[in-house]
Amino acid sequence: MRRDMSQVLCDQIAALVLQALDAAQSAGDLPPFPLPDPAVERGRHEQHGDYASSVCLKLAREARMNPLEIAQRAIAHLSPAPFVGRAEAVAPGYINVWLDEDWLTSQVERILAAGSDFGRLDKGGGQRVQVEFVSANPTGPLTIGSTRNAVLGDALASVLEAAGCQVEREYYVNDAGSQIRRFGESVLARYAQALGEAAPFPEDGYHGSYVLGLGRELAEEAGRRYLEMERVAAVHAVAAWAIGQILIGVRRDLAELGVEFDTWRHEQSFRAEGLLDQALTRLRAGGYVVEYDGATWFRHPDLEKDVVLIRSPQVIPEPAERPTYLASDAAYLLDKLVKRGFDRAIYVWGADHHGDVPRLKAAAQALGLDPERAVLVIYQMVNLWQGGEEVRMSKRTGDFVTLRELLEQVGPDPIRFMLLSRSADSTIDFDLDLAVEQSDRNPVYYVQYAHARIASILRHAQEEGWAVDAPADLALLHHPSELGLVRKMLELPEVIDLAASQLSPHYLPFYAQELAAVFHAFYRDCRVVSSEPGDEGLTRARLRLVRAAQGVLARVLALMGMSAPERM
C-alpha cells in the first residue's frame, strides 16, 4: 500500500517552529524552557497566513518575555523549507506562515501521483482496530437510528484506515437471550395464524407488520411442521430461521447504503467457544462477583451499584437466557482484546446506551484489560420530520421508519451526507422533505456537482483534442483561485488526521463542501480549455489541476461512502 510520506503539512510547520525555538535557545536568544506543544493551526483569515502558531503566547510567562519578542527571536532562527514562502511574527505574538506558491503548484503532480491514496497517513502505525457498529438486534428491520450508527461507524472506519490503522468492521449479532425468544414466539404465532390456527400473540411481542410477513413466509415454506413440534423447540427453530431472514434484509439494506462488514460475530458463537465462562471465571477470580437474591452480580468500586450478570431463575427460568448484556459484553471484550488481539475496540453506541459505558469500562478493568483499549463513540438520537411535523416512532408497536423506506424515498447518498454532517454529540432532526429535494437547499448535490462538472470539463477537453494526462508546466498556475484550490486540496491529510484522532468523521462533509466551493470559484475565474492561441501551456496546467481536484473530491466522497457521479 502506497503511503503519503510527506504526512501532514501542519505537523511539518510545527516541527519547524519547535526547531526554531530550540535554535534560539541554543544561541542564547531565548531563556531555557521545555519545548511546549507548538499549537499550529490553519490561519482563519488570509492576513493570518496559511498556518499560525500561538506557541509564543503560551511561553510568555515561563520565558518572562513579551510574546511578540519571543516570536521575533524564534523566527530569526527558522530554517528554510521548500514549502515555506514567508513567516512573520505578529502582535500579540503569533507566528504566521505562508506557503510558497511555486511549491504549492508543484504539489498538483504529487496529488495526481498519489491517486486514491492521497491523504493516506502513517499515523496509525498499523495498529489493529476493530470498529463494531450497527449491531442492532436481529428482531426487525433497521431504523433511522441504526442508520446513523451505520453511517458514522463506516466513515469512522474509513478514516482510521486512511490514517494508517488496520481496521476491521464488525457487526455484533445479538442472537441469544429473552428478546430472541420473544421474537421467535411472535413469529410462531403469526405463522400459526397464517395456517388458520388461533394462536395467542405473546405479551410484549413484536407487533410490526414485518412479523406478519415472516409468519406467512414461513407457513408457505415449512407447512405445518412447526405446529407439530414441541413448543420450546419450535420457538427456538423459528427464531433461528427468522433471525436469518432479518439478517438477509439487514445485510442487503446496508449494502445498498454502501456499508459492508468484514465480520458478523454471533453472540451464540462466542458463547459456544466458552468465552462467557472464561469471562465469569476471570471476574470471580478478581473478586468482582457476588451472589444474592438468587442472581449473580458484578461489583466494582467504580460503580455505584451492583449489576446483574446472571439473572435469577425466579425471573427467567431458562438457563440459556439468564446471562445479561453485561455478561456477554465481558465475554466479547475477551474475544476482541485477548482472543483476537485487537489493539483497540471501538464501539459505536446510541445515546440511549450511554449509561452502560461505565459498566463496560469497569468490566474491562476487572478482566485485567486496559479500559482505554475499549473506546466508546456515543451519538445522539435522530428525530424524523415530515411535512413540518415530527414523525413519532415506536419500535414496540412496529410503527417506525426503516432504512429500507429511506433508501427507497431518499437514496443512499443524501442519507449518508445528512447523517454524517453533524457531530455525534448533536441530535439530528432528519427532514425527509429536504432529503428528497434535489435542489440547492440540499448540500449533498453541491459536492457531487463539482465532481460532475470536472468530468464534463475533461470530456469537453478530449473532444477538443486535448490529452488530459499530458505533462504540464504547473508553474504557469498563479491565479488566486488556482492557488486556493491547491491549498484546499492539501488540507485533506489534515482533515483525515483530525477526524481519525478525534473519532469525528463529521469533518469530512464540511471539508467536502469547502473543497467544492473553492473549485466552483475557480471555475468562475479560470477557463480551463482555452482556444486562444498562446494559452496551450496554461490549458495543460489547468487540466492537471482539475484532474487532481477531481481525484481529491472522489477521495473525500469515497471516505464518506458516497458516489462520485460523472454527470448530473
How far is 211 from 139, CA to CA, in rounded Å? 9
Site for RNA in 177-196 (CB under 7 A): 177-179
The reply on whether position 528 binds RNA by CB under 7 A is: yes
Pick from 402, 410, 416: nearest CA to 246: 402
The reply on whether position 45 binds RNA by CB under 7 A is: yes
197 or 204: CB nearest RNA: 204
Q: What is the DSSP string of 300-359?
A: -TT-SS-EEEE--TTT---GGG-B-HHHHHHHHHIIIIIIS--SEEEEEEEGGGGGGHHH
- Please work out the total of residues on this chain that contact RNA, with binding judged by CB under 7 A: 91
Per-residue interface string for the shown chain with RNA, residues 251-290, x marking contact by CB under 7 A: ----------------------------------------
Q: Is 204 left (phi over 0), alpha (psi -120 to 50) or beta?
A: left
Determine the 3-state secondary structure of 446 from DSSP.
Answer: helix
Largest CA distance in the chain: 94
123 or 195: CB nearest RNA: 123
Q: Which of 513, 535, 558, 563 binds RNA (CB under 7 A)?
A: 513
Site for RNA in 354-373 (CB under 7 A): 354-356
79 or 531: CB nearest RNA: 531
What Rg do the C-alpha atoms of the chain give, in angstroms? 29
Q: Which of 2, 3, 61, 225 binds RNA (CB under 7 A)?
A: 61
Per-residue interface string for the shown chain with RNA, residues 96-135, x marking contact by CB under 7 A: x---------------------------------------
> Which segment (126-134, 165-173, 253-261, 516-524) binds RNA by CB under 7 A?
516-524
- At a CB cut-off of 8 Å and minimum separation 6, what does 113 contact? none
Residue 119 contacts residue 162 (beta carbons within 8 Å) = yes
Site for RNA in 387-416 (CB under 7 A): none
Give least dist CB 524 to RNA, A.
Answer: 4
Per-residue interface string for the shown chain with RNA, residues 411-440, x marking contact by CB under 7 A: ----------xxx-xxxxx--------xxx
How far is 70 from 65, CA to CA, in rounded Å? 7
The reply on whether position 68 binds RNA by CB under 7 A is: no
The reply on whether position 34 binds RNA by CB under 7 A is: no
The reply on whether position 378 binds RNA by CB under 7 A is: yes
The reply on whether position 15 binds RNA by CB under 7 A is: no
Pick from 403, 348, 353, 391: nearest CA to 143: 403
The reply on whether position 42 binds RNA by CB under 7 A is: yes
Pick from 305, 277, 312, 275: nearest CA to 291: 312
Site for RNA in 313-342 (CB under 7 A): 315-316, 321, 324-325
Residue 87 contacts residue 75 (beta carbons within 8 Å) = yes
| Number of alpha carbons in the 13 Å side-chain half-sphere of residue 427 | 7
Give the Cβ contact number of residue 191 at 10 Å.
29
Give least dist CB 197 to RNA, A.
Answer: 27
Site for RNA in 449-508 (CB under 7 A): 449, 452-453, 455-457, 459-461, 498, 502, 504, 506-507
Q: Which of 7, 11, 23, 57 binds RNA (CB under 7 A)?
A: 57
How far is 367 from 276, CA to CA, in rounded Å? 12
